[in-house]
Structure 1
Amino acid sequence: STNNLRLWTAKSSRDFDLQYFSEGNYIKAVEDKNHSENLSKVLYPEDTHQMGRELRLRQEYFFVSASLQDIIRRYLAKHDDIRGLPDKIAIQLNDTHPALAIPELLRIDKNN
């Protein structure tokens, strides 16, 4: 059996907003990039306030979804039928954080 350790980093879909940059608003120009990439910079934020709880949930979803998509992509690279996935792949859900994997796998299956 083989175990995979996946290391994910959130990347913004754009580096900066050229309009804001041209206007001299340099901080606003990179705000979206920083906001997107903060998702994976610090794990397990303080969850005693709303922003920390929201960030933690977004992180949990991000890591679960990225991992499941990678598992399915790798599986389909070697197999033609997704229905054989349970015979070849085991996903262990430790603790409550990866519990989102169950509905996310259903969502991915429905959309494909």
Structure 2
Amino acid sequence: MKRTWFRGRTGRFIMMVSVLVLITAGMFALASVFMAYDPDGHLTRRWLHDSRWALFAWRLMMYAGIAGVWLMKVRPQLLRRWPEVRARLPRTELLGVLFILATECVAWTGTA
């Protein structure tokens, strides 16, 4: 039996909306568990402070993965499809790096 309901643009839209609704419900469920277990947030804050270096290493791995995919897959396809953006692309990449650095500075300023 073919699933004609999930074909085409409308089907993809329905799938994406339903996945986003499920993810949102899961996040609310997780937040309610945290609030029931630790209503003041002291245990969660202590856990975040104690595991800040592991979380920083995880973020660095995520940044490296995104940069690798960007440099090996997305950037060459982008330049092949739109060669006129070659002059503006380094500036856009620099803005992305500055955004990551600013985000990390904000994350590390309150961890004294």
TM-score, length of structure 1 as denominator length: 0.32
Which of structures 1 and 2 has the larger relative contact order (alpha carbons within 8 angstroms, sep 6+)? 1
TM-score, length of structure 2 as denominator length: 0.32
